[in-house]
Structure 1
Amino acid sequence: MSGPVVSRRREVGNGSARSLLTTLLGEFVLPTNHPVWTSTLVDVLALCGVEEKAARQALARTAAEGWLRSDRVGRRVRWTLTDPGRRLLAEGAGRIYGFGSGAHEWDGRWLVVLVSVPETMRDLRHKLRTRLTWAGFGSPTAGVWITPHLSAEADAKLILDELDLSSQAMSYLAHYGALGSERAMVERAWNLTEVGARYQEFVDRFSDMAPSTPDEVLVAQTVLVHEWRRFPFLDPQLPAELLPPKWSGTTATTLFNDLHVRWRTRAQDRWSEMVPD
């Protein structure tokens, strides 16, 4: 069986049972690596509004994808992260907690990738666009992909190799020239208005949230991380000088970090209470 994979739909989609389960696994199961009973996961997902049937289906599908393995103890079943599942969740945790909008130093250089796919090859064009966008690239004009993150060239090469497009591509590093406007190029390459609106929705939702009971804190922490883990896939993480003024991503980043620290201990304590030996 092939190893587990990260699905963009799971990362940026709505609060599906499988997506919420992934959040629980990364936030609470990964740090301890203790086996967890089906009943515990079902109960916590229920607190988050997931029905039991959907929760059990999410467990089965996540296991089928290679993230979890099950052990039967009498009539009960407990779940343990597989080694590939732990690795992917650890990579995801690093991406989530190391992410911060506008917090990147930049030397002014761009990585530019040139690659064209005929319009008749619509499926291949869609795959290329989806995967380069997911990797943080923007396209100011057809066949041209840009990013201020020079290290992303390795990601681009991997994508192009897998799509059998490397032989048709070119890449180079460059400073923006005298023609046109660098900011206008950024506006064509990325829809920062939409990303900024998503950040503002996050701020509006969580800035006044004040959970009090242990269950409320557990749910608040879960939903906080669940909503935040979408942003590394939505935000190209441009340097501050390329962002619009009063960028809501900066406010959202500060809010996430503050709330995550504020709720973490109480949420972990409540999780531990719900994970019996």
Structure 2
Amino acid sequence: MGSGATGAGRGARPTVTRRREVSDASARSLLTTVLGEFVLPQGEPVWTQTIVDVLGRFDIEEKSARQALARVAAEGWLSSERVGRRVRWALTPPGRRLLVEGAERIYGFGSGNQQWDGRWLVVMVSVPETKRELRHRLRTRLSWAGFGSPEPGVWVSPHVGAEVEAKSILEDLALTSEVMSFIATYGALGDVQRMVAAAWDLQEVADRYEGFIDQFSGLDTRTPEAALRAQTRLVHEWRRFPFLDPQLPGELLPSKWSGSRATQLFNDNHSAWKEPAQQGWRELLAQQP
């Protein structure tokens, strides 16, 4: 297959950012979901019109769908081949690898299921009040990495392995000379639940899970078309949670944590809808001349 102007080198890695992962629904993010859920497992090139048609089911206009294809191809996810007046798209090897990694993260994610040995990673970093933009970037990136801040300048995580990502963030922001880190257990003074409440807004995360449960409970998916729509939206919405939920161990979460129920609902629905959704995709492909 020719790579075309939008092709990517085999050694390149597609561009992806966490900001895009948690952005509002868009043509580009819906396209990413479709690529991972349907194009990846089928392993075959897909016509432009097929992408336009499936995104149109989510009120994405044709112009926006075509622009999304061009952007994703420019980022190295897709290569193009012209056949007469039409264009078809195939995943590049780097794009395929990235989607496989994303699928593993999405399908393997489960809130409240993490095993924990009781140890905390504590990162202390000092940024002057006058450097507000730097403080904002630090807060944003550490929050995306799952850290919480119970006190100014103090960041904590129950995942001690997150130190690798914290180090990368601090190096990017040129803050390694202003930081200290510790791995420790919580002592006899103070209340760990109060610290957790100060570090993370778990109520906001719980509300998002409740909304997910309301949205995907009791849907009518008796036709392949309905299953395709439901499965696409299900995965698209679930993709956000690994970046919204700090994935705390169960003993640190509120009782009756809605994330556990949402995880079960996602797994049950995704399994039940998978084959009819794939059938809906095959029917969509068959409609193309």
State the TM-score, normalized to the length of structure 2: 0.92
**8 Å contact from structure 1 (residues 4, 85) kept in 2:** yes
- Counterpart secondary structure, 2:53: helix
State the partner residue of 1:135.
145
1:32-56 deviation per Cα after TM superposition (whole angstroms, max 9, x unaligned): 3321110111101111221111111
The one-letter amino acid of 2:48's match is T
**8 Å contact from structure 1 (residues 47, 215) kept in 2:** no
Which among 49, 57, 61 is matched to residue 51 of structure 1? 61
Could you tell me how far apart the structure 1 residues matched to 2:83 and 2:135 are? 49
State the partner residue of 2:282.
272
The one-letter amino acid of 1:207's match is S
Which among 96, 101, 118 is matched to residue 108 of structure 1? 118
Could you tell me how far apart the structure 2 residues matched to 1:120 and 1:86 are? 44
Could you tell me how far apart the structure 2 residues matched to 1:31 and 1:124 are? 41
Are 1:216 and 2:226 counterparts? yes
1:55-101 deviation per Cα after TM superposition (whole angstroms, max 9, x unaligned): 11111111122221211111110111222222222221111011000
Tell me how far 1:165 sits from its aligned partner: 1.4
Could you tell me how far apart the structure 1 residues matched to 2:285 and 2:169 are? 40
Return 181-190 or 62-71, whichever deviates more: 62-71
**8 Å contact from structure 1 (residues 221, 260) kept in 2:** yes
State the partner residue of 2:162.
152
Tell me how far 1:176 sits from its aligned partner: 0.6
State the partner residue of 1:82.
92
- How do residues 9-28 of structure 1 correspond to structure 2 at under 5 angstroms? 9-28=19-38
- How do residues 61-210 of structure 1 correspond to structure 2 at under 5 angstroms? 61-210=71-220
Tell me how far 1:13 sits from its aligned partner: 1.9
Structure 2, unmatched stretches of 5+, are 1-7
Amino-acid identity (%):
66
Could you tell me how far apart the structure 2 residues matched to 1:81 and 1:119 are? 46
The one-letter amino acid of 2:241's match is F
Could you tell me how far apart the structure 1 residues matched to 2:41 and 2:122 are? 38
Which among 235, 244, 267 is matched to residue 257 of structure 1? 267
Could you tell me how far apart the structure 1 residues matched to 2:220 and 2:109 are? 24
- Counterpart secondary structure, 2:110: coil
1:146-172 deviation per Cα after TM superposition (whole angstroms, max 9, x unaligned): 111111111111111222212221111
Tell me how far 1:10 sits from its aligned partner: 2.1
**8 Å contact from structure 1 (residues 37, 77) kept in 2:** yes
Tell me how far 1:112 sits from its aligned partner: 0.8
Could you tell me how far apart the structure 1 residues matched to 2:102 and 2:151 are? 31
Which among 6, 16, 22 is matched to residue 6 of structure 1? 16
**8 Å contact from structure 2 (residues 123, 155) kept in 1:** yes
- Counterpart secondary structure, 1:118: coil
The one-letter amino acid of 2:18's match is R
The ranges of structure 1 where at least 4 consecutive aligned residues each deviate by more than 6 angstroms after the TM superposition are: none
